Structures are given as structure tokens and as C-alpha cells.
Structure 1
Amino acid sequence: MAKTDSTGSTWRYRWAHRQNDRRLRAFHAADEAWRRRDDELRRLRTLAASFHGSAEAGAGLPMELAPGEVVFWTLPAAQLVEARHTAVLPAPELTVEPDPPLLRPRRPEGVRVVDAGLAVLTNRRLLLLGGRGRRDWAYGRMTGLSHDPGAPVTLLQVLDRRRTSGLLLPTGAVADFRFKLTLAFADAIEQRAAVVAQLDELIEEHAAALPARPAVLTPAQARISARIPGGRRTVAAGAALALIVPAMLFESNPPVRPGSELASAAAPASTATPAPPPVAPAVRIDVTTSPKPRRTRATPTAAPSQAAAERRCGAPVNPFGYDFCGGQRIRKPARGVCDWFDCVPGFRSGRGWLVQCRDGTVSLTGGQHNSCAGHQGFRRTFWT
């Protein structure tokens, strides 16, 4: 026998079951994403604190190490690339990128491959031991460094070389190489502690964003709008149409039936009904359902709900005042935002501001290089 509430209906129990199941699945997805990122941040923190090389690692390499030089990392499948057009690259920075971008195994335009061989990372320089010779980039002479956000290419500029060059690596080794290059450069300028402190700050910030398990909804919390297909959105859309359509009909000219003018002219003057005076189109008319004609009273105020609908600028109906019209970005949305918007899995683990993706979902990845990844990309920003 199905459970019923005091009204004898079962739709409230079905609503509570659906809502609790959806909220729990969203929580598990967000918690899993949070734990993956937490594990990666702590792995990078451990690597940054214990990063060291050894002179013995370069014993079998066809190169000579300088006094005090140690080898950190090697990769045999690297390609030497050169830029066709020289451009000024940004100065090297000690920025940690815990969320590496999705890279495609391609060579960007304007870059050509000139050699291939073994890439070696030491505490003094980056080298490529290729078939045509050796190419090295000393940290002390480095003036520019750029990691391509869409391709596995890193370009470098040094004082003793005019042409911009760099490495093209397999996509699976790019994230490890870029982080270790940052550590090696920081070690060369004695700024390893700055990288460790940056990772500590990221871990602390991430710990504060731990997803909270949602509260269990009860059948008594179900609203009557849940019985309508589409729920609150359908009710709000119907209310908006109920306000907008009469206003549009009032502002438009009424149709004139053929022969109405002749019938008015043929009617006796004593029975003719005088035409009502013209009314300004910006007023509101109180419409009644009485079958008898009734005088209407004009009010010089516009409907507030219609103005609110226009203010949203196409944003979904919500009680938080979030719209697409402009204002301030929303970095900490309200707790019940996913009850009104279609949030992406792992919504609370995002680091950015509130945006809408091209598939209609809502994400908290505004300002990120991979905003709305997996949801057809970024579409527009919510404002408040």
C-alpha cells in the first residue's frame, strides 16, 4: 500500500524521493572531484618540498655536467621546435597550475620541428640532446617563457640566442615537465619556498570549499507547483505571459470588422454609444471577468513583475536576482542555487564565478581557461 500524507496523495513522497536522489548524486560527484583535486595538490606539495636531483643520474648521458650541477628529470621522446616569427615572451613566473589544461597532440601554427632527441632538466639549465647537436637554455640567461594552453609546446627565450625555440613533448608528460621546470627555475633563483607557500595557500583554500552533504527533504516541503510539469519555471512563465500578453493587446490597435462603420452610421443618434477616451499606452488596466461591460480605472504605475522579467535579460527565473544584464560577478552563489538552475556535476568544486554553459547548464568556473569543459564551452556570465 502506497504511503500518503494527510491529504491522501502520494505525489509529495515521489517529489521528495526524486529531489533527495538528485541532490545526493550531485553531492557524490562534487565530493569525488574535490578529493581528486585535494590529492593532486598534496602530491604537488610533497614533490615541491622533496624535489632534488643527483649527479649520478647524468652519468650515462652524452654531456658534461658543470661543478655543482645535478639532473632532475629526463625524457627521450622530445622534439626541438623553433618559432618562425620572433615575439617577446612573458617573463618566467613561479605560478603553479594545479589544473592542467586539456592538450591536443598537435603542433601550433608558426612553429616548426627542427630536431628530436633527449630532453634533460638540471638545476642550471634545460637541454635537448638531439641528432643535430645540443641546444640548451640556461636559467640565468632566460628572459621569456610561455606554455601553450592548447598544445604540448613550451617556448623559451634566452639572451645568447636570437631565435625563439622550445620543446614539443608527448601530452602525457607535459604537466609533470612544466611543474618540474617551475621548481628547477625557482631552485636556481633560490625561491623554492615561494612555490611551497603557494601550494599551501591553494590547499587551504581548497579545504574551505569541501562540499557539504545536502539536508534530506521531507514530503511536507513539497510545493503545489511540483505537480505541474516544469515546476516553478512553468508557473513563473505562465504568470509572466498573463501580464505581458494583455499589455501587448492593449497597446495594439483593435481589429475593425467589415461593415462596422456602416452599422454605426445607420444607428439612431439617441442610441449611439460614445467612444471611450484614448488612454496612454503605459498605464495598467484592471480587467474583470464580469460578462457586463464595466468601466475600467487606469493606474499610472507599471507592473513590477513585468519589469523584473525584463531585468533578467533572458536569465532563468530565480529568487536571488541573478541575471544577464550586468553588475557584479557571483563568486559565492546562494546555497539553493541548484534548486533553480541546472547545475553541472561537481558544481561547488569550481573555482571562479557563476556562468552559463552552451548546453544550458550552470557552472562555477568563470574566468578559468577550461570554463564549462565537457558542456560545449562557456556561453555567458551571471550578474547580481
Structure 2
Amino acid sequence: MTVSEGEAHGWRARWVGRENERRRTAYDAALQAWRRRDEELRQLYCAAEEPVRPAETPAGLPVRLDDDEVVLAVQPAAEIVEATARHTPDLPTAELTVVPVEDTRRSRRRSKGARVVDAGMAVVTDRRLIVVGRDEQQEWPYARLAGVAHHPEEPFTLLHPDGPGRIRGVWVPRAAASTFRLLLTVAYADATGARAALLDRLDDAVMAHWLDQPPTPSPATPADAPLTARLVRPALVAAVAVALAIAAVVSVVHGSVPDRPVIGMDVDRGTGVDPTDRGLPPSSTGLGTPARSAVPHTTGTTSGQLPGAAPVTAATTSAAPTPTADPSPAQPSPQPTETTSSPPAPSGTPSPTEVDRCGAPANPYGYNYCGGSYIYDPAPDVCTWFDCVENLWSGKGYLVQCKDGLISRTGMQRGPCSGHDGTRRPVYI
């Protein structure tokens, strides 16, 4: 990352060096985190393809198993958690996928929507999940579940019942969460005949993460250096601000009002805010930067006009004159100077620039195939703008595009694009 616009000298050169180093460090950290996540997702996909192997059953297991029931995993340290409400934004939704626990490097915390009710041992079999606690034994047969929901940041999984009732789940240590979640989800998928749909979801997750690579930062240039970087000591900026605030308070207390408004500080030999920009309301340009108002302004001023005063336009000169004090007889009244105004803005609004949606049809919601956030709550009239599958609203996840071009939704029993050649890519907003 080097300077690309001319040679920098002095304080601008020092700022460019510091800024480029900061951007490089931030990019390296983001790229390293992205690579770790990519490796985790690919390992999960490969492990989900392999057949599940029975675990070694420890002696004295306090669980009564059926004759042909197979133990897949035993987690000695586990806790039973219970959702405080069925619909809580802080809790994950049921979805047929495996979510690796993100390394947030925070101390262990509990979600506000879940509370611990018991602790004990968790046993995963090919038919059910069993947690033997101190006070009770809780079990979840896979055939009676509507889905599993893994929290992305905390190592617990909720198991949604197929019908009304309390939503409970199991918490395991963070170090064992990835393996435990994989075995539990694969066992649930095998018991419900959804192993192929699970692999499709994992493949979609790998592809979505691959398209979400951190962008390479552009190099800083001397023209980007802010004027505040010219100060040798950053504390001087705070001192100047405090001094100005004190001066303003003293002026108000003593009744001293300046004869014209303060536009800005001249800290770079005349570089400052254009006084003629006073009163011009900013307008959105679509790029997050305020734009100049389309109201025309004059290119000249009347003789004797203060620099901070409002510009004189043809409309103001045609209005009634403002009464002034009687001039001294020895002083002739100033002659008005001719003013010129820019031509009026053309009527009508220019058509907006066409937005690249990466193949998605035009729609008023900004839905696209390029990138962004998953759409878990699509608009009710989404099928007016997209071609949708018939059972779109039976899903509980986010919008995806099938390989035949139709729009579907994840969280369905047989997968989002079952019968439509598989899933192609997510729909973003």
C-alpha cells in the first residue's frame, strides 16, 4: 500500500504513513478472521458427508437405551436452558444447519432470552437427545422436533417441539460446542431423512461466506489528510476547543455579540468553509455525502456587504429596499453594483442511476444477489417482483434463489429448493 497521488512532504507524509499502516493492520485482521471462518465451514461440510460412527459408551451410563439404539456422543458437562418466551429476538430460530460458535473473545455470558434450569450429562443417540440433570431427566426424540436452533455466539442449542410447549435446549462448554452441534444436527437430519438438505445448507453457507471476503482497502493519499493532522500534539485540538467554548460563554455573559457569524477557523492559510454555503440545506446524493443545494446563488455581492451575510439574488433586489440610517451629508450613498445570477435549475428530476443487482429483478426493497444481509422477514408482496415457489411461506429462514431461477426460503422440511435443481445463492438486502 503506497502513496498514489504525488509525493507527500511534512505532516501530510507522516499522516499518510500512519493511515496506511492502520488500514493494512485492520485488513490483515479481517482477512485472518475470514479465513478461520472459511476453514471451519469447509470442515463442517466434509464432516457432515461422513457416516456417523458410534461413540464408546462409558460404564455406568445413567440412561436406559433401547435394544438397537446407538450412542453417538456423551458430553459430561452440560446444562438445560429454557427460553423465557417463544419469540425472543435474542434467541436463534430453528434452521437445518450447523452454525460454528464465533470466537467473540468475551467472557461467558447468558442470553437474556434463556435461563439455566438444571445441569448434568448430555447423551446424543441416533434417536434422541437426553440430558440427565440433578433434578430431572429431559429428552428430545428427533421425530417430535420441529427443528434445532444453534446460537451463533453462545454455545447452546434450542430444540423446538413440533407443537405448543416450552422451548428448551442444552448448553455445553465452548471448546466442545462445534463437535457436539455437528453430531446432534447430523443425527437429527438422518432421523428425519434430511441429510441431503443439510449438505445443501452447508454448501450454501460456504459459498455465501466465500462471496463475503473483506475488500482490499484503497491506499491513502496526501489529499486525504485532514487539517487536524497538521497539529503536532492532538491535545492542542482539545485545548483550542475549550478556549473557544470559554470565549463564547464569556461573550454571552457580558453581552458581547459578534457583528457577523463565525463560519470556521482558518488553520491552513485561507482553507476553511465557504461563507456562501450558509443556509444551503444539504441534500442526499445516495453516497452518504451532503451535496450542494440546487438553489442558484449569485456570483457577486453588493458593495459593503459583510462576508457572512446571505447572498444577494435577483429576487432580493426586486423586493422592497431595507431602510437604512441617514448617511452623513459629506459621505455619498454607495452605488449598487450589478448582480448576476446563475440560470434557474431545469424543471423535472433526473432519472436515478440504474443499480447493479447482480441479476435480481428491479424491486422497491433493494433485494439483490450481490451481497449484504440475509432476508429473514421478506416483504409480503415479494412474489410481485420475483418468481417464487408455491410453498415459499412455509419456510422459516431467509430468502434464496434456486438453480431454476425461482425464489424460495430456507427452513423447509425437505430443503429450500427441493424439486427446483437445488439452491444457487442467497437473496440479500
Q: Which interval holds the TM-score relative to the shorter structure? A: 0.5 to 0.7
Is the Cα contact below 8 Å between 1:82 and 1:112 reproduced in 2? yes
Is the Cα contact below 8 Å between 2:81 and 2:114 reproduced in 1? no
Aligned match of 2:45: 45
Task: Decide which of 93, 99, 122 is 2:95's aligned counterpart.
Answer: 93
Is the Cα contact below 8 Å between 2:126 and 2:191 reproduced in 1? yes
Aligned match of 1:183: 186
Is the Cα contact below 8 Å between 2:102 and 2:153 reproduced in 1? no
1:117 deviates by 1.6
Q: Please give the alpha-carbon distance, in whole angstroms, between the structure 2 residues aligned to 1:60 and 1:239.
A: 80
Is the Cα contact below 8 Å between 1:126 and 1:138 reproduced in 2? yes
1:244 deviates by 1.4
Aligned match of 1:73: 73
In the alignment, structure 1 residue 156 sits paired with structure 2 residue 162: no
Greater helix fraction, Structure 1 or Structure 2: 1
Please, which runs of 5 or more residues in structure 2 have no aligned partner? 231-266, 281-307, 317-322, 346-363, 375-397, 399-428
Aligned match of 2:340: 297
> Residues 97-108 of structure 1 correspond to what in structure 2 (within 5 A)?
97-98=99-100, 100=102, 102=104, 104-106=108-110, 108=112
Find the residue that maps to 1:298 and give its secondary structure: coil
Is the Cα contact below 8 Å between 1:81 and 1:165 reproduced in 2? yes
Please, which runs of 5 or more residues in structure 1 have no aligned partner? 254-258, 277-292, 303-325, 334-350, 354-366, 368-383
Q: Please give the alpha-carbon distance, in whole angstroms, between the structure 1 residues aligned to 2:218 and 2:92.
A: 48
1:148 deviates by 5.4
Is the Cα contact below 8 Å between 1:108 and 1:151 reproduced in 2? no
Report the residue type matching 1:245 in the other structure: R
Report the residue type matching 2:62 in the other structure: P
Is the Cα contact below 8 Å between 1:23 and 1:214 reproduced in 2? yes
Task: Decide which of 306, 310, 318 is 1:250's aligned counterpart.
Answer: 310
Q: Please give the alpha-carbon distance, in whole angstroms, between the structure 2 residues aligned to 1:40 and 1:298.
A: 64
Measured against aligned partners, the alpha-carbon deviations of 1:31-71 in whole angstroms (never above 9, x if no partner) come to: 31222122212221222122513164366422233244222
Report the residue type matching 1:182 in the other structure: T
Aligned-CA RMSD value? 5.2
Aligned match of 2:201: 198
> Residues 1-384 of structure 1 correspond to what in structure 2 (within 5 A)?
17-18=17-18, 20-50=20-50, 52-54=52-54, 56-57=56-57, 60-82=60-82, 92-98=94-100, 100=102, 102=104, 104-106=108-110, 108=112, 111=115, 113=117, 115-143=118-146, 145-147=148-150, 152-158=155-161, 162-209=165-212, 222-223=222-223, 226=225, 228-229=227-228, 241-245=274-278, 249-250=309-310, 261=325, 263-264=326-327, 267=329, 273=333, 294-299=337-342, 301=344, 328=366, 352=373
Q: Please give the alpha-carbon distance, in whole angstroms, between the structure 2 residues aligned to 1:213 and 1:84.
A: 43
1:11 deviates by 7.1
Find the residue that maps to 1:57 and give its secondary structure: coil
| 1:9 to 1:157, Cα distance in 2 relative to 1, 3 A | closer
Aligned match of 1:309: none
Aligned match of 2:300: none
Further displaced range: 148-157 or 30-39: 148-157
> Percent sequence identity over matched residues?
34
Measured against aligned partners, the alpha-carbon deviations of 1:304-345 in whole angstroms (never above 9, x if no partner) come to: xxxxxxxxxxxxxxxxxxxxxx98589969xxxxxxxxxxxx
| 1:300 to 1:167, Cα distance in 2 relative to 1, 3 A | same
1:73 deviates by 1.7
State the number of aligned residues.
Answer: 278
Q: Please give the alpha-carbon distance, in whole angstroms, between the structure 2 residues aligned to 1:129 and 1:18.
A: 57
Is the Cα contact below 8 Å between 1:331 and 1:352 reproduced in 2? no
Q: TM-score, normalised by structure 2?
A: 0.48
1:180 deviates by 3.1
Measured against aligned partners, the alpha-carbon deviations of 1:209-263 in whole angstroms (never above 9, x if no partner) come to: 556777888xxx754x6485469xx99xx6764441286831799xxxxx963x3
Is the Cα contact below 8 Å between 2:98 and 2:150 reproduced in 1? no
Is the Cα contact below 8 Å between 1:40 and 1:98 reproduced in 2? yes
Is the Cα contact below 8 Å between 1:186 and 1:192 reproduced in 2? yes
Aligned match of 2:238: none
Report the residue type matching 1:124 in the other structure: R
Q: TM-score, normalised by structure 1?
A: 0.53
| 1:207 to 1:197, Cα distance in 2 relative to 1, 3 A | same
| 1:129 to 1:20, Cα distance in 2 relative to 1, 3 A | closer
Q: Please give the alpha-carbon distance, in whole angstroms, between the structure 2 residues aligned to 1:161 and 1:41.
A: 33
1:185 deviates by 1.1
Q: Please give the alpha-carbon distance, in whole angstroms, between the structure 2 residues aligned to 1:201 and 1:45.
A: 10
